[in-house]
Amino acid sequence: MEVTNTIYEIAKNYETPFVLLDPKLLETNYKRLASVMDNLEIYYAVKANSHPEIIKTLFNQGSHFDIASRGEIELLLSLGIPGQLMSFGNTIKKEKDIAFAYENKIEMYSVDSEMELEKIANNAPGSKVYARLLMSSDDSDWPLSKKFGTDIDHVIQLLVHAKGLGLIPYGVSFHVGSQTYNKYKWKEAIVQAAEIFYQLKEYENIELEMINLGGGMPIQHTRPIPQIEEIGLMIKESIEEYFADVKRLRVIVEPGRSMVGDIGVLVTEVILRSRKQKDNWVYIDAGVFHGLLETIEDFRYEIIVEGKEEEETGIFSLAGPTCDSVDTIYDEVELPVSITMGDKLYFKNAAAYTVEYGTTFNGIKPPKAYIIQ
C-alpha cells in the first residue's frame, strides 16, 4: 500500500501503533491470483491476518481457508463460514482439535508423520489426508524447511499407511518457504509431487486427486520480486506438463503473505531518541513483541517518516518499547537525521504476520487494526 497524504490524514485519527488495512486492495489481490489459472482453488492462510473484515471480504470473493488451530476454526465458524470450506493445514494438531474440526465438517487434514495420521484416524475417521513434502526453501526469507514436511519416500509410505488406517490418501502439499524470490521453486516442488502421484498409482494402486501448492508468494519490500502472474504461469505450465496423465486433479494454493501483506501499513511513533557512546538510537512504540517480530532475522521493511521523506539520512539503531534487548528491530537502519520524539514511522506493506504476532509483553497492548472505508 502506498503511503500518501490521504493515509497521513487517516492516521491522525488513531493512537499508534496500528495497522491500516484497505480491503479493496485485498479484492484486487484475490482476483489477480484467481486469474492465473482456471480452477485454481484459493485457501487463504488465516494465520497471516485473521481480521474479520479480511475473512469476510475473501469469503465474499469465493475463497476457502487454510486453518492452523481450533481458535481459527472457531473464528471462521463465528463469521458464518462452514467447515467444508476449511482445510486443516497444520501438521501438528492436538487430538481434541482434530475431533472438533471433524465435528464441524472439516474434510481435509495435512500430515508429515505416522503419529499424526493415527490421531486423525482416531478422531476424524475416513477423512481426506494430504502429506507434506519437505522443501529446501533456500530462496526465501522464511524457510519452512526443517520443521515441516518429509522426503518423497516417506510421503509415499505415509499415504499408503493412511489407506490402511481407513483414511483417504488424497494428495500432496508443500510450501516453498515464505517470501520466496525464485519462481522455479514451485516447478521443482511440482515435479517431486508428480513423482509421488506416479509411484502411488503404479505400485500401490492409489490415485491421488489433489496437489496443495502452499503459500510463499512474495510481496514488494526492498528486493525485486517475481510478480504473481509470473509465478502463476510457472505453476500452470508445470502442472500441465507433469500432471497431464492425472484425470481428476484439484489444485489448491494457500496464500497468506501475498494475499494481505501489501494491503496495509503499520503506523508507529518515536517515543525516544538517545545517544550512546557510538550509536544513535531511536525507540518506537511498536517492536519485536508488538508487530515487528519478522525483523528478528533482519527482514527489511521500507520505512517512511512522515514529513521527512526528502531529508538526508543517517544510520540509527531502531528498537521497540519493552525492557528487553531482544526488542531491537534493526541494529543499523537509515532514518532522517532530524528524527525525533513524536515523528511517525510507516512500515510499508506490513499487513501480514504483524498484528497476528502482537503480544501484551510488558503490559503493552499489541497494535490494533483499522479498516480504510
Ligand X SMILES: Cc1ncc(COP(=O)(O)O)c(C=O)c1O
Nearest 5°: the CA angle 333, 335, 336 is: 160
For 198-216, give one letter per residue: b (16+ CB within 10 A) or e.
ebbeeeeebebbbbbbbbb
Which residue in 70, 128, 161, 175 binds ligand X (CB under 6 A)? Answer: 175
Cβ at position 243, least distance to ligand X in Å: 20
What's at 123, amino acid-wise? N
For ligand X, give the closer residue by CB, 174 or 283: 174
Cβ at position 215, least distance to ligand X in Å: 2
Q: Does 48 bind ligand X (CB under 6 A)?
A: yes
Find all residues with CB under 8 Å of 238, minimum gap 6, and list them. 186, 187, 190, 191
Q: Does 185 bind ligand X (CB under 6 A)?
A: no
Sole window of 95-103, 153-161, 163-171, 256-264 interacting with ligand X (rule: CB under 6 A): 256-264
Q: Does 83 bind ligand X (CB under 6 A)?
A: no
Which residue in 257, 290, 308, 344 binds ligand X (CB under 6 A)? Answer: 257
**Four-CA torsion 128, 129, 130, 131, nearest 10 degrees:** -170
For ligand X, give the closer residue by CB, 229 or 331: 229
Of 82, 20, 102, the closest CA to residue 53 belongs to 20
Q: Does 64 bind ligand X (CB under 6 A)?
A: no
Q: Does 143 bind ligand X (CB under 6 A)?
A: no
Q: Does 89 bind ligand X (CB under 6 A)?
A: yes
Cβ at position 255, least distance to ligand X in Å: 5
Find all residues with CB under 8 Å of 163, minimum gap 6, and list them. 169, 204, 206
Site string for ligand X, 212-251 (x = CB under 6 A): --xxxx----------------------------------
Task: Please answer whether residues 285 and 22 qualify as being in contact, where contact means their C-beta atoms are separated by less than 8 angstroms.
Answer: no
Task: Please answer whether residues 308 and 334 qualify as being in contact, where contact means their C-beta atoms are separated by less than 8 angstroms.
Answer: no
Site string for ligand X, 295-334 (x = CB under 6 A): ----------------------------------------
Which residue in 97, 254, 327, 343 binds ligand X (CB under 6 A)? Answer: 254
Which residue in 45, 58, 158, 167 binds ligand X (CB under 6 A)? Answer: 45
Cβ at position 225, least distance to ligand X in Å: 12
For 158-187, give one letter per residue: b (16+ CB within 10 A) or e.
bbebbeebebbbbbbbbbbbbbbebbebbb
Nearest 5°: the CA angle 23, 29, 31 is: 105
Output the CA–CA distances (angstroms, integers) from residue 132 to 55, 165, 293, in the order listed: 25, 18, 26
Which residue in 149, 171, 255, 358 binds ligand X (CB under 6 A)? Answer: 255
Which residue in 83, 169, 171, 256 binds ligand X (CB under 6 A)? Answer: 256
Q: Does 178 bind ligand X (CB under 6 A)?
A: yes
Output the CA–CA distances (angstroms, integers) from residue 2 to 265, 278, 294, 304, in the order listed: 8, 34, 21, 10
For ligand X, give the closer residue by CB, 216 or 366: 216
| CA 213 to mean position of chain CA atoms | 13
Residues lying near ligand X in the complex (CB under 6 A) are found at: 45, 48, 66, 89, 144, 175, 178, 214-217, 254-258
